[in-house]
Structure 1
């Protein structure tokens, strides 16, 4: 019997904002997200490296499941051609339940807007831990909230 509890969830968000603008804010200006979407993200600080570079470490303060939470994440991969970024959790609230946690954002051009595709991949500490449907919902809701600002900008 396998002792691995690796799971994957994803969601697509139809968006009026161009894929390039969505990719740009998460790559170069994640610290602006708290100004645009403060109900979801309260802060974002660069701890190591430079904005928009692989290997950078970003400290996120966010509000999820009715609580203020934190996550320290490594920018593991950036693919400008496909407008994608992968964040790997180093430490934070999600570490209580997961050995590993990655979130990948892919911004796909569609007409004048885009489809924002989020994937969460994680390994649970044990099988009693519930899947993070609320976290993928958080990413969906954050994307819809950011759409208001990025579609106009």
Structure 2
């Protein structure tokens, strides 16, 4: 069993890639509005929202347990709607020496594809690959999509206009 692992998946969404990227990059503190059963909150611990080197403190639920994560924004690629976080402290650190989450939002003719990559180094061989955390990311992406589709391009609620 290898200590290094990499899991990847694609999630097809209806929202524009740019809108999805903007939310997770510039406004991650709004993710809890879209996915409150999974993400309880995101706080800016150090730096500025969306800036490389900034540190965010996440409160989330994984496998039915309340968890925390302190992550640094490691890389941002605006042109390719890509963002990489590196875990620096928190519940994932109990099992992994290194843990990175990369999210790329790829435009399509209709909607987008969210490509999620987890790269990690386990502390020991008995730790399973992080399929459940990947599923948490997938489910959260679907919640964000549903949230974004409830609003028009100006940020107004479509249902309120009906």
Relative to the length of structure 1, the TM-score reads: 0.96
1:104 aligns with 2:102: yes
Query: Secondary structure in 2 aligned to 1:50?
Result: coil
Q: 2:61 aligns with which of 36, 44, 63?
A: 63
The answer to whether the Cα contact below 8 Å between 1:60 and 1:70 also exists between their aligned partners in 2 is yes
TM-score normalised by structure 2 residue count: 0.91
> 88, 91, 94: which one pairs with 2:92?
94
Alignment of 1:112-131 (within 5 A): 112-131=110-129
How many angstroms apart in 2 are the aligned matches of 1:152 and 1:67? 29
- Corresponding residue of 1:133: 131
Q: Distance in 1 between matches of 2:19 and 2:127?
A: 35
Give the deviation of 1:145 after TM superposition. Answer: 1.1
In the alignment, the residues of structure 2 paired with residue 140 and residue 34 of structure 1 have an alpha-carbon distance, to the nearest angstrom, of 15
**Following TM superposition, where does structure 1 have runs of at least 4 consecutive aligned residues deviating by more than 4 angstroms?**
none
Residues 1-153 of structure 1 aligned to structure 2 (within 5 Å) = 5-153=3-151
Secondary structure of the structure 1 residue equivalent to 2:11: strand
User: Alignment length, in residue pairs?
Assistant: 151
SS in 2 for 1:104: strand
**Per-residue Cα deviation, 1:17-42 (whole angstroms, up to 9, x for no partner):** 10001100011100011122101100
Q: Is the 8 A contact 1:18 1:151 kept in 2?
A: no
1:114-148 CA distances to partner (integer Å, 9 max, x unpaired)? 00010000000111110010000100010111111
Q: How big is the alpha-carbon RMSD for the aligned residues of Structure 1 and Structure 2?
A: 1.2
